[in-house]
Structures are given as structure tokens and as C-alpha cells.
Structure 1
């Protein structure tokens, strides 16, 4: 039965899985999400170094980040729906081995063309977190779902942000190729651990792959809350990518003149946003996701105002980084809590629709951010980022609220 509110449609819940979801397993899944999602972001503090090695402009070097996110989007759309059809553990292990191979290829790439090719493949095979998150939501009790998703998302957020710190430091002292080589080894080790610890989780969908993919359109058409969350999340993540794709270029010039290791250190500062993830999940369980989403969007707006007017001062830049990361993660976790309540037996497909839109936004943000930096430098970056956040706020505030004629 669908409710009259576009934010809270509900469809009958299938029998709950009997697989145990212990606190240790929740944290293992959080760590796994962080390690795998880091694959997407290792390259960002290294873009200037990659550009220098291959003799590229800043905007051309940023294609490494853009195509990695494009690959991730392709993985979300074509691979993640299989989580509702195939046994999830086996699918996750296969993707981890493929991701390790892609990272090894990036580490050895002799040309820029091969580097961006392996970056695209790495993005596709790094969709593992978007299989683990709905898996955890499926295994969790209804009353704890937001809290569990929040904990796992805190691991994912730490992976996103600390990946920049780690890769910036290793890149400055051992070269950017070492970063990808170490990442390849990490994927193989993680595959071994998950093979031993991750429970089997057999989904309920029994149709063909074609019917599975066709159902994405049906879900999108019939669930306005899903469309609203996807558009809001995609626009906000575009603003997030605008900032992080261009930060290394900003820090290498006036007034900072920092190297890639310092640029990566800003990921460590931004990781403070991970502290908000469990709180956001708890808030979604108790007060509903709409409240937390509004708070996250307002924080993101405030962050870009701080960055625009105070980014040339170290304290202003630090405050902007922390507030932006908190705002984006509060919004993201609450959006996922909202969509996972819609059709329990289709959580992988719901996550596919949401996260595909999310990373289309991220890819767009990386591309537009690089262009804005090349033409207008920091003021252009902040203007574009603020525009994306404003659009996300307007969508969340007004989209789907008026009844259709």
C-alpha cells in the first residue's frame, strides 16, 4: 500500500533474512566499503603529478578523476542491480579481484590513454560498497536500519577522505604509481577476508537480467520519493566533486604553494564529517529522513559561502572542508534511509537508481569543476559548487510536493 506522502511510500516487506548481523560484521562491512571506495579517490591528490609525468594541462589530467567516476557510474547501473538476482557474496568477491587487476594495470600504464582506460575499469569494478550497503540494510532489523546504514556509511566516508591523505603522502614520497600498486594488493587481501567472514545472502529476484534492468524504469516512474532523493543527492555530490577535484590545483598555487601530500592531508581534516554519519542514521530512524536532509543541505550551502569568502585563509578553508563533508554525508545517509524503506525486496535496484544519479552528478562536478578552475580559478569553482548546492536545495524543497492534476 502506498501512502499519500511522496516521501514515505511503503510496499509489503518480504520475510526478513535470518543471517546474523553482529556488530563485528557491521564494522567489517564499514571497513570494506571504505577500502573499496578509496579506489575512486586515490587519484585526486595525484592529478598534478600525473599531469607533469605525461606533459598534460590541469584540465586534461583531471580526466583521470572524471573517467574513474564515469566507470563507477557504469558499474552502479549495470552491475549493482545483480545484487537483487545473484548471490551477493560471490559477486562481491569477483568484483574485488577485478578491481585489483585494474589497479595493477593503472600502476604499470605506460601512456595516459592506458591510464584513463584502466581508471574507467577500476571505477566499474569498485561498485562493491553499493552491494554491501543494501545487503546490510536487508540484514538489519527495521528499527535499526538507519543506524546500521549510518555506521557503514561512516566507513565509506572515511575511505573517501583518508584515501586522499594516504595517496597524497605516498605520492609525494614514492610516486603516484606506488599508490595504485598498493591499492591492488589491498583489494586482494580484502577479498580473502570477506571470503572467510561475509555471510551468504541470496536475493529473491528470479527473472532474467533484461527484466531486472527494465524494472529500474518501473521503480523510477512509480516512486516519487526515489526520484526526489536521487536528484537531490546527484546535485549535492556534484558540488562535492567540484571542490575535491580542484582543491589540489588551488593548494599548489597562491597563497598556499603546497605539494600533493598537504592536499591529501585535507582529506584527514574532512574525515571529521564521518562523525556525523551514525548520528544522521539515528536521526533518520527517530525523526525521519526529511529533517536530516534539510539540515545537511543548509550546512552545504553554508560551507560554500565560507569557502568563497574565506578559502584564501587556512582557517576558512579548513572550516569549509569540515562543514561541506558533514553536510554532504548527512544528506546522503538520510536519502539512502528514505529509499531503502520503499521496496525492501528491490534494495539493490533502488540503490542503483539513486547511486547512478549520484555519481552522474559527481562526474559532472569533476568535469565542470576542472573547467571552472581553468577559466576562473577559485571564484569560479566556488560559484559552480554553490550553484549545485542551491539546485539540490530547491529540488528537495519543491519537487514532488504538489499533487498531480
Structure 2
């Protein structure tokens, strides 16, 4: 595993901020192989949340429940994930992160095994809830990668890991259905169990031994997550703009797109709808380079540009009600915009105080989850009231709000 790290003599000096608040580790730095490994681990962690989505019909037949009731499994997973983000991810600021990451991944493997062997629907719901709580290693890994990276490449590191997260979501949705068709729905959880355990072991050997950043009582640590909003003036504007574009609009668009493609004139089945979602790969590919804009000092300006791209995509979506080509184009353009906004805002948030990067990442991701829940809930009401055009109109209006908030926040940066 020595190939995954290199001596500090081969890297550029760190800034005072990094020395004060980052890894304080003078022996290791982030290399391309280690970055790739961390991106895979982050993608697998988030992918664990999405194995169940294509499997709901199979699960309903296997466990003898109504298909409509299986939607509760997704809800249980999301609630668990929100709890895990809030209660576990901040520990990255006060615990040795190599041990924390491997322990959390091992617990996620136990939860996956519980899902694979669940004898009943209720047991599976508890298993998926536990999986949501424990599969948060990706959000511990992202601040770690930023801390290990050269100060001039921290945004790029965040972008590469964000690409891994997006690819993990796309891969999980695709592979889950394919594997389940041949081996049954339980098989994907068994495979994921083994994969998580193996990767946890690899990471434990590959990651450097890094001391905790500081000693803080746990209750104070959790309280400090929310105090960050007041402590750092630009943060509230980062959270608002990202919550709108990456949370509300993301869920408005993708949830309603399922309604659109399932209805006439398309009439697509679940697999066909899933293929359309592959258009989101544009955002994943762009993620590899977006972070460099933050490193070059253009993060604030570029965020505004990507909000504009998201606005353009929703304008295109207005005309996509009966055109698959326009649907795909709108989805691809939006994926580009939303990933750009998300990566740059995440990098900017953690850069506010490297010593509290895990806490800042916690409030960032938790905010996305809350705003995403609002978007998911609103999508059903807006669709029933005004259909696809209503969804697009609502998306345009809230993105315009995000643009105004970005402009106000840019003055606070």
C-alpha cells in the first residue's frame, strides 16, 4: 500500500490554515492512486443507499407486502442517513479518521448483511434504517481528502470525490437491478457486504495514521455544527443557494421526471426511466475539473455561472414535455449545473475553517437532505396541481431566488 502515499518532501508546503486545522500529518500527502481509492469508497458508501430503489417490486413479492408499502423502505433509509450524517460525521473532527472510517464501514457491512438475511418486511426496514445511519463514511472521507491534498489542489480533490459519489449513485441503481434479475434481491446486499469489508481493510492499510484535530465533548461537537451558521458569515448563503439548487430543484426535477416518463406519450417502464437517468453522468464527468476553479480563486464566480446553467436547463425542460431528446438534454445540462454548484459550495464551506471541516461538511450535507425532502414533498403536490409545466415554473422561480442569494452571499465572501 506504500504506493498510495508519498513523502512530504515531494509536496509543496502547506498553508498556516492547513497546519492549524487539517491533518497535522507531516509524512503523507494525497496521491492520485489514493484519491481514486477514496473516490471509490465514497461512491460505494452513497451507493449503499440506492441498492433498494430498483428492487421494490421484487421485495414486495418476496416478503408478501404491497408494492406501495415498499416505499417506506426508502423513507427508512433516508431517515437513517440523516441521523448518521448529524451524529457520526462530526466525529471526523475529534477522532482519528482512519479508525473512524474503517469502523463505520464495518458497521455498514453488518447492516447490509442484516438486510440480505431479513426474514420479514419489518426486519428489512430496520436493517435499511441502520444502513442509512452507518453508510456515512463518504462524508467523512471528503473532508479527509481535502485535508490531505496540497492547498492548491483541495478543490480538485473535493471534485474528484464528488464524481465518485455521483458515479456510485448511478452504478448502484444500474447494477442492483441487473444483479437482482439473475440472483435475486438479497444477492446484491451480500455482494455489497463483502465489498464493504474488503474496502474497509484496504483503506485501513492505505490511509495514514492521523491524530484527532482537537478534543471536544460530543454534545458540544454536535451543537457546534449548528453554531457554524452564525459563526461564519458566508455559510448561510452557501447553504441557501446549495439547498435550493442541489436539494429542492434536484428532487423536484428527478421525481417529476419519473411521473412524466411513465405517462403518455412516453409510457416508459422502470428500466427505461432508469436509462434516461444516465444523462446525469455529464455532471459526474464535469466534477473532475470543476474543483480546479475553486483552487484558482474563481469559486464564487463559477458558482453563479453554474446556477445560471441550472436555470437554463429548467428553461429547456419547459419544452421537453413530449420530446425525449429534450428531456435528455435538459437532464444532462441540469446535471452539469447542479454538480458544479454542489462541488464549489462544498469546497467553499469546508475552507471556511479547516479545523472544523467535518462539522462544516455535516451542516452542508444535512441542509441538502432537509431541502431535498422539501423538494420531494413539493413535487407531488405541484405535479397534481399543474403537471410538468408547473414543475418547471417552480424550479425556475426558486433558482432565481438562489441566484439572488448567491449575489448577496458573494459580497460576504
> TM-score under structure 2 normalisation?
0.85
Instruction: Choose from 375, 383, 388 the match for 1:365.
Output: 375
Alignment root-mean-square deviation, CA: 2.8
Q: Does 1:93 align with 2:105?
A: no
C-alpha contact (below 8 Å) 1:45/1:263 kept by paired residues:
no
How many Å apart are 1:89 and its aligned residue?
Answer: 1.3
- Once the two structures are TM-superposed, the CA of residue 388 in structure 1 deviates from its matched residue by 4.3
Residues 107 and 180, structure 1, Cα contact 8 Å, conserved in 2 = yes
Q: Find the aligned partners of 1:310 and 1:129 in 2 and give their Cα distance.
A: 35
Query: In the comparison of the two structures, how many residue pairs are matched?
Result: 392
User: Where do residues 197-276 of structure 1 align in structure 2 (5 Å cutoff)?
Assistant: 197-236=206-245, 237-276=247-286
Q: Write the deviation string for residues 13-49 of structure 1: whole angstroms up to 9, x where unpaired.
A: 5345322211110111111111111112333344566
**Structure 2 Cα separation of the partners of residues 139 and 127 of structure 1:** 19
Q: Which residue of 1 aligns with 2:178?
A: 169
Query: Of residues 55, 71, 90 in structure 1, which corresponds to 2:66?
Result: 55
CA distance in 2, matches of 1:373, 1:180: 34
Tell me the distance in 1 between the aligned counterparts of 2:112 and 2:330: 32
Relative to structure 1, the CA distance from residue 171 to residue 321 in structure 2 (aligned partners, 3 Å threshold; closer, same or farther) is: farther
Greater shift, 252-261 or 278-287, is seen at 252-261
Consecutive unaligned residues in structure 2, runs of 5 or more? 1-14
Higher relative contact order (CA 8 A, sep 6+): 1
Q: CA contact under 8 A between 1:304 and 1:382: conserved in structure 2? A: yes
Q: Residue by residue, what CA displacement relative to the aligned partner does 1:245-283 show, whole Å, maximum 9, x if unpaired?
A: 454454343233333333332343311211211221111
2:25 is the counterpart of 1:17: yes
Rounded to whole Å, the distance in 2 between the matches of 1:196 and 1:151 is 21
Matched, 1:356 2:356: no
Deviation of 1:138 (Å): 0.8
Give the aligned partner of residue 329 of structure 1: 339
Distance 1:160 1:115, change over 3 A: same
Instruction: Report the CA distance shift for 1:71/1:393 in structure 2 as closer, same or farther (over 3 A).
Output: farther
Q: Any idea what SS the aligned residue of 1:310 has?
A: coil
Distance 1:384 1:174 in 2: 42
Stretch of structure 1 that moved more, 386-395 or 302-311: 386-395
1:140 is matched with which residue: 140, 143, 149?
149
The more displaced of 17-26 and 126-135 is 17-26
Query: What secondary structure, in the 3-state scheme, does the structure 2 residue paired with 1:254 have?
Result: coil
Distance change >3 Å, CA 302–CA 21, structure 1 → 2: same
Q: Which residue of 2 aligns with 1:4?
A: none
Tell me whether 254-263 or 316-325 shows the greater mean CA deviation: 254-263
Is residue 312 of structure 1 aligned with residue 337 of structure 2? no
Could you tell me whether the CA contact under 8 Å between 1:171 and 1:260 is conserved in 2? no
Which deviates further from its counterpart, 344-353 or 258-267? 258-267
Task: Name whichever of 317-326 and 387-396 sits farther off.
Answer: 387-396
Per-residue deviation, 1:290? 0.9
Which segment drifts farther, 212-221 or 46-55?
46-55
Match among 42, 51, 73 for residue 33 of structure 1: 42
Q: Give 5+ residue unaligned stretches, structure 1.
A: 1-9
1:172 touches 1:259 (CA, 8 Å); kept in 2? no
1:347 equivalenced with 2:322 (yes/no): no
